[in-house]
Amino acid sequence: MSTEPRIPLAGSYVGVRAALGHLDGVPDGLSALQAAIWDPAADVEPRVKELSRLRNARVTDCAY
Amino acid sequence: MPWLAPSPLPRDIDTDLDGLLASAAVVGGEWRRYADLILGQAPAELAELLRLRVAQLHECDPAAGRSLAELAREQVEALAGWERSSAFSPVERDALAIADKWPWRVHDVSDGELAALSTKLGVKDAVALLAALSLFDVHCRLQVIFELDDPKEDLDVD
């Protein structure tokens, strides 16, 4: 596995948006989805969500 | 703001994926919009092929999800053994090879496999297809964990 990006980076995006930025409207759609998931008004405690996020990253061996 | 309806899911909603998302308030709506944005830009027949393949790998019912295109019967029948079949084009085989690794071995997807797909499809279609693969994987996981079946099966009465 090389350290070169597997596809050209889209615009000035970073992270997963550097790939998704090739698709119209998708980075903004992802932002809206993430805002809904992490909305502090949601009835799942932020701590539980963060634990789930970290554990998911750990078991899938990806960056968090 | 409720994330999910109280468990167990109410029986007066269709317990398919759309029913589940509808019960998930704001998150479900945003998820559906996000999914539609991606699926609207993915090559439909290729995406449908991968949707069916991921369902096979997860052993979940593809009828519980939305069909994206109509495929040749020969391809649908050969899909489980696609590696030994001549029913698939080179780009379909490239995409299926990646799909086969997606649920459990995504780290094994190689630079060469990604390069082949993006060279043949173009970067935009390749990104859309891979993003769609993520959606299919998540949808199958939701089907499995919430035991969502094809709602039409509920109509069968002995």
- ipTM for this model: 0.88
Q: Any idea which architecture B17-145 has in CATH?
A: Up-down Bundle (1.20)
Interface test with A, best of B30, B104, B114, B141 (most A CBs within 10 A): B30
Q: How far is CA B87 from the centre of its chain?
A: 20
State chain B's mean pLDDT as an integer: 86
What was the pLDDT predicted at B151?
52
| Count of domains forming chain A | 1
Q: Does A18 touch chain B (CB under 8 A)?
A: no
What was the pLDDT predicted at A46?
84
What was the pLDDT predicted at B157?
41
Asked whether B64 and B148 are in contact (CB, 8 A), the reply is yes
What was the pLDDT predicted at A39?
84
For residue A17, give both structure tokens: 């948006």
**CB contacts < 8 A (A, B):** 72
Identify residues of B whose CB sits under 8 angstroms from chain A CBs.
Answer: 1-3, 26-27, 29-31, 33-34, 37-38, 41, 106-107, 110-111, 114-115, 118, 123-124, 126-128, 130-131
Q: What is the mean pLDDT of residues A23-34?
A: 95
Gap between the Cα atoms of B37 and A30, Å rounded: 10
Half-sphere exposure of B19 (CA within 13 A, CB side): 16
Give the residue among B30, B69, B56 at the shortest CA–CA distance from B137.
B56
Is the pLDDT at B40 greater than 90? The verdict is yes
Least confident of A35-44, B50-59, B68-77, B98-107: A35-44
Domain hosting A32: range is: 1-64
Gap between the Cα atoms of B150 and B71, Å rounded: 20
> In sequence order, what are the residues at sequence separation of 6 or more whose Cβ sits closer than 8 angstroms to the Cβ of residue B88?
B49, B75, B78, B82, B96
Is the pLDDT at A23 greater than 80? The verdict is yes
pTM, two decimals, is 0.85
Find the length of chain B. Answer: 158
Long-range contacts of B96-104 (CB under 8 A, 24+ apart): B96/B49, B96/B50, B96/B53, B98/B130, B98/B133, B99/B50, B99/B53, B99/B54, B99/B57, B99/B133, B100/B53, B100/B57, B102/B54, B102/B57, B102/B133, B102/B134, B102/B137, B103/B54, B103/B57, B103/B58, B103/B137, B103/B140, B104/B57
